[in-house]
Amino acid sequence: MSRHKFKSPLLLALAACVALAAAAEPPQERKAEGDSEKAEGRKFEPFKPEAVTSSGSVTIGGRAMSYSAIAGTLIVHPRGWDDVPRDPKTQAAAGEEGGEANPSAEASIFYVYYSRAGEGPRPVTFFYNGGPGSSTMWLHMGAFGPHRIVTSTDAHTPAAPYSLVNNAYSLLDATDLVFIDAPGTGFSRIAGKDKEKAFFGLDPDAYAFSEFITQFLSRYGRWNSPKYLFGESYGTPRSAVVVNQLESERSVDVNGVILLSQILSFDLSPDRPTGNPGVDLPYETVLPTYAATAWYHKKLPGEHPSLEALLTEVEQFAMGEYARALAAGSELSASDRAAIARKLHEYTGLPVDYILKADLRIDGGEFRQNLQGDGGLTTGRLDSRFSGPDIDPLSQRAEYDPQSTALSSAYVSAFNDYARKELHYGEGKIFKPSIQTFRTWNFAHQQPGQQGPAFSPRQGVNVLPDLANAMKLNPNLKVQLNAGYFDLATPFYQGVYEMHHLPIPQSLEANIEFRFYDSGHMVYAKDSSLKQLHDNVADFIRRTSH
């Protein structure tokens, strides 16, 4: 579905990331993250690249296609790393600590590369989920790999055995695929001095991905291929920074950036805007998703046969009458306050007295806890079609995400089984679906044109300037935004608002397109939406790769 277009004729990981504890590595693996080489008395041993080749076939659109798969690792280092090998004896004589060869932090980044033979340079697309701290098993096993896991549409998927089936919606018909696990996640590992500092942050993470991509192009001879980035959730701000780094620092033009469940300006997040008083935009841009969710669960007081008509109406109210009322603050009259509360009741299904008590401002957790609270149910965050039993019926905000718990076991089990049996990778290794990094993630960011070192801005992180800069440097760069109506983590209208506020000239607005789905954050968790997503992305790649 495409509802939003620019008014000019030239006209959002946690990526489906689950907060799973990082499992300890077995003895035969590298030391667990956070351990100190010095404390263990170990000498630094650099990672070595790996590559395991296999083959298979997938049927897409009724047509069987053979492919080659490579599961392996590439080694990347943080910005400023000296790639000239050093003599340990000379280094020790000079008094350098450890006497090790290049004792810098490094990451062994795991990837799975699917390719098909074909005439001319086939497009190649780099996929990653977000978190930050999530592996990319979600996009791999749920969306575009040659096999996908079967899960329930809006309920908890029963325990094993799970079904892994041919993926008729794999993107191998349109592009070769590279699924990348972020440093420290999945089968990726980090090591060396200050390794967390070297990779766990907005800018160092993006640099590692940029380094990986350019290494990959050289290793597999893909420099002359049309190139695409596909990021989901936190993968979308990663994409904005990576594409700018590729364009501005490495002279690598990218054909297209595909964004799924976008968040580029973190000030718009609906999770806890109550901690940022005076900034009311999150309440406005999330309101259409509240309406869609209440509509789905039949909590609206009125009749709305058309979801799209309802959303158009709510968007106009949110950015008009509602925005003006919130901007008035304490100057809003009692009568106007009551009128806005009644309107919000019509669009959210929440009681008027609760809305008034919340000062007309309900954040995502409060909405999820209260929408179905009378039935003892918590509404999903990543996908608000999902529901689960309340952990604490008296809690102010929802305490867990029913969709995450509904799908996680299926994805984790499917990938562990598939990697070892089909890709022949992972023997003796632990796969980490996610790691705990969000609370310690360094969001300091050096925006384009900023002089001096990166800094943490007083306001939330905003990478709109990065994407805009990449589009200016490469006026042919195309962008596709894909979003689900039932996403309360990165609401679809937040992405629309962000794109309408990209600092780009009007002539570049036509380079952006919007696609919307009757699904949630993981759009592909619904079969019909996965088909639409495949068709939209495949069409985008075909249109922009020539």
Residue ranges of the domains in the chain?
A: 37-70+85-115+124-267+412-544, 279-403
Query: How deeply is 329 buried, as exposed, middle or buried, from its count of CB atoms within 10 A (0-12, 13-18, 19+)?
Result: exposed
Fold of 37-70+85-115+124-267+412-544: Rossmann fold (3.40.50)
Per the CB < 8 A criterion, the answer to whether 182 and 133 are in contact is yes
Element (H, E) at 516: strand 512-517
Per the CB < 8 A criterion, the answer to whether 267 and 297 are in contact is no
Q: How far is CA 437 from the centre of its chain?
A: 15
Per the CB < 8 A criterion, the answer to whether 229 and 217 are in contact is no
Written as one letter, the residue type at 157 is T
- The CA distance from 456 to 446, in Å, is 9
**Distance in Å from the first CA to the final CA of the chain:** 25
Long-range contacts of 246-249 (CB under 8 A, 24+ apart): 246/210, 246/213, 246/214, 246/470, 247/469, 247/470, 247/473, 247/474, 247/477, 248/448, 248/469, 248/470, 248/473, 249/210
Angle among Cα 490, 455, 245 to the nearest 5 degrees reads 70
pLDDT of 24: 29
Q: Report how many helices (DSSP H) and strands (DSSP E) the chain contains, helices first.
A: 16, 14
Among positive and negative, which fits the CA dihedral 401, 403, 407, 412? Answer: negative
Among positive and negative, which fits the CA dihedral 303, 306, 312, 318? Answer: positive
Nearest partner of 136 among 199, 73, 230, judged by Cα: 230
pLDDT of 28: 35
- The CA distance from 419 to 426, in Å, is 7
Instruction: Kindly report the number of other CB atoms within 10 A of residue 24's CB atom.
Output: 11
Task: Kindly report the length of the chain.
Answer: 546
Joined tokens for residue 189: 């590992």
Nearest partner of 105 among 17, 197, 41, judged by Cα: 197
Burial 95-130 (b: 16+ CB within 10 A, else e): eeeebbebbbbbbbbbbbbbbeeeeeebbbbbbbbb
Query: How deeply is 79 buried, as exposed, middle or buried, from its count of CB atoms within 10 A (0-12, 13-18, 19+)?
Result: middle
CB contact set of 323 (below 8 Å; sequence gap of 6+): 280, 284
Per the CB < 8 A criterion, the answer to whether 146 and 58 are in contact is yes
- The CA distance from 444 to 453, in Å, is 9
Element (H, E) at 302: none
Written as one letter, the residue type at 543 is R
- The CA distance from 440 to 512, in Å, is 33
- The CA distance from 453 to 276, in Å, is 26
Joined tokens for residue 410: 């299926």
Nearest partner of 519 among 366, 297, 292, 315, judged by Cα: 292
- The CA distance from 233 to 170, in Å, is 20
Joined tokens for residue 534: 């495949």
Per the CB < 8 A criterion, the answer to whether 169 and 533 are in contact is yes
Half-sphere exposure of 289 (CA within 13 A, CB side): 40
Phi, psi of 265, rounded to the nearest 5 degrees:
-120, 110
- The CA distance from 484 to 487, in Å, is 6
Task: Please identify which residue in the block is written with the tokens 């209440």.
Answer: 294
Written as one letter, the residue type at 18 is V
pLDDT of 43: 59
**Per-residue pLDDT for the chain (546 aa), expressed as one digit of tens each?**
555 543 433 333 333 333 333 332 333 333 333 344 344 445 557 899 999 999 999 999 999 999 999 999 999 999 988 766 555 555 454 444 444 444 589 999 999 999 998 777 899 999 999 999 999 999 999 999 999 998 888 778 889 898 899 999 999 999 999 999 999 999 999 999 899 999 999 999 999 999 999 999 999 999 999 999 999 999 999 999 999 999 999 999 999 999 999 999 999 999 988 888 899 999 999 999 999 999 999 999 999 999 999 999 999 999 999 999 999 999 999 999 999 999 999 999 999 999 999 999 999 999 999 999 888 899 999 999 999 888 888 888 887 777 778 888 999 999 999 999 999 999 999 999 999 987 789 988 988 877 666 655 555 899 999 999 999 999 999 999 999 999 999 999 999 999 999 999 999 999 999 999 999 999 999 999 999 999 999 999 999 998
DSSP-derived secondary structure letter, 30 = P
